[in-house]
Structure 1
Amino acid sequence: MADSDSVLSTTTGTDQQDDPLAELPDEQLVQLIEDTIHANEVIRNEAEMFDKFFRRVEPKETNNLQSSLNYQTPVAQVQEIYGRSRKRSKSRSSAVDKLLRLSAEQKCDIAQRELEELREEIDKLKEEAERVLDNYRAGLEEAELRFSEIKKAVYEFDRDICKGSVNPRTGKVVAEKVVRYFEDKLRWRDTLIEKLRLKNSTLKVQKKKLQLQLKQKEEMGEVLHEVDFNQLKIENEQYLEKIDEKNQELLRLKLMAGNTLQVLNLYKKKLHTLTMEADRLHNEIASRNEMLQKFDVETVTVEEEREVAEKKNIQLRRKLSDYKVPNVQEYVEKKADLCDLQKTVKNWERKVEIAQVHQIF
């Protein structure tokens, strides 16, 4: 409003002086024009807001507002402004002197009322939009259900009638099966209608009970007011924050559990590998123990054989120590006797063979 005052004062000065704007440079003139346009825009917005407020508020509410406030109401001032604007003279200076302006507190009160009305209208539009959207969603769900039912009915009709009710001799559909099919469908529809009717009656009874309970609460003063709803909203926000914190904590614990599970699987694999290695080593130890037992038995046997060989060796050593080597003449004579004996043995063996042959023949 300060800009509008400056513009009005400048405009009033132009009536009193010849042409003071001619002495101003172009930059100041451009700035003055921009300020004037901005001030006119502000005044136009304020006038539109006052006009809406004046057309909406009834005289009874205007009197109540005037009694509740200790200053003149904006409506009365607007009416006075409108009455004075009709009697305004051609001179701008006299109009500005007689013009009664609204205070900043009154403007703020009007703007607050308009803002509340605008919020209420926005809430109503949101509710209406939600209602329309719910209706569209319900219609869409109903259309989807009907489409699925129609698709299912077409499939069943094609399966039971078009393919299952054809007479193989004539190649035509049997009428009795078609009539029976539609009678079954009608009975199923009647059953479904009866179920829905019973469900609807049950819901109506529940609705009456809830309305009666609500009426009793209203009579007893237990109905929640706006303050209670605001308190519930605050508590709900607090609980939502706690739920978010718990969800974050749960996510962190899930990640920790996943990492722990990976480590556990790794250790399980290692344990399985070590268990297989332990089984292999156990089997190898058992086989080595069996071999060791066999070696012990063989060792005992060899030890016994060694003792026998050692005794025999001792006897041979004793004989060797007592043995005396004959002279060469005696050796040659013994060798000649051996050759003679071998020849004699061969002769006797030949004679025996000949005698055996004679006995055969």
Structure 2
Amino acid sequence: MMARMSVCHSSRSIISHRGFNYMNEAEELTDADLIKAVNELKQQIKITNLENDILERTIMRLDPTLMNNIQQAIDYASKLASSPSIGGSFMRSQTSKFDFSQSKILSSPSRASTRRVESSAKIGGTTVFGTGTRINVMARSELVNTEMETLMQKLLNTRKKAAKQHAMLKAQLEEIELRVEDIEKASAAFNQEVIVDGWDKLAQRIPAEIWIRYMTECMKISDSQIGKLRLRTSTLNTQYAKFKGQIKVKAELNDKLRPVDFDKIKIENQEALAIIDQKSNQLEELKKMTGEANLNLTVHKKAMWAQNSYLATLIDTIKTKERQAKVIDKERDVIQVQADDLAARLTEVKKVRIAYEVPDIMDYVAVKAALGDLQKGTKLLENRLRIQHIALNSLQSKLRIMNA
């Protein structure tokens, strides 16, 4: 606003000094020069409006009482611009007021608080309006930066409040949607169970028992849900108190801890990581040794099973030969036939022995696991059948009581 009045005064001073020569020069300007001058004036007006806005914000932020005489001064300045016949006594009185206001603005608690530029111009022993204390470029820059920081802080606060309000509204919308969904489900269930299924065609009405039973079931479901929600609320409150205590402890530690403590913890962590790596390497070595031992054990087991099977085959063959030797003494006539049969059987035994393989233990384990799963499934089915029998018996007893 001070800049606005200084522009008004400068325009009036130019007109008073040049008089009709200025009008003659304006008439001699070309169209391009006039357009250029108009554009410059528009740009200057835009800059002046911005400066006025910044100054007004600064005055309102620092001392709003200084704005009491600003509007009156603007009105008088507009009157001066419209009627040059008004004397200069008011200009001198208002100049002193603006000098006082500007000195207060420059002495405000900002980064330009120590900068004050005073310039006064006297023409013919009288103080010219608008030529008192002025704000230089650096002071204007400091004012603009201060206002920008204030606006940015206000913007951040507004964004935070808007984010909180948005989250609150979103939560309320979600709650309302859940309530609407529950109401719709309850309404559909009520219509289906009470109005549609509970309608008595003979009596042409809805029995009171159906209504009471439906309300009782709804109350039971509500009580169970309320109990779950109370348990969840208590759990959340416990977690909140726990987290609050942790935050308090962390804040106290943040005040008490020093960088040396963090360095100490870092060194201890590095030592612990080195020990963990060492133990991990040892564990890997032990795993390798265990795997090799298991492999050797498996190989020896297979060899032992093969020897046992071969030994059993040999024992069976020896017993057979002993029986055959006893039979040979009694049956000398059929010895050739029996010898051929024995040779064939020996061949078969050799083939079986060559083709015989020890069964894998993992197949047995898989079959055993499948058998255990089947047994578990059988037990579960039996339990379900028993529970269903109990429920059926209870329902039958209820039906008997209701029929009685």
TM-score w.r.t. the length of structure 1 is: 0.48
TM-score w.r.t. the length of structure 2 is: 0.44
User: Using CA pairs below 8 Å that are at least 6 residues apart, which structure has the higher relative contact order?
Assistant: 2
Tell which structure's C-alpha radius of gyration is larger: 1
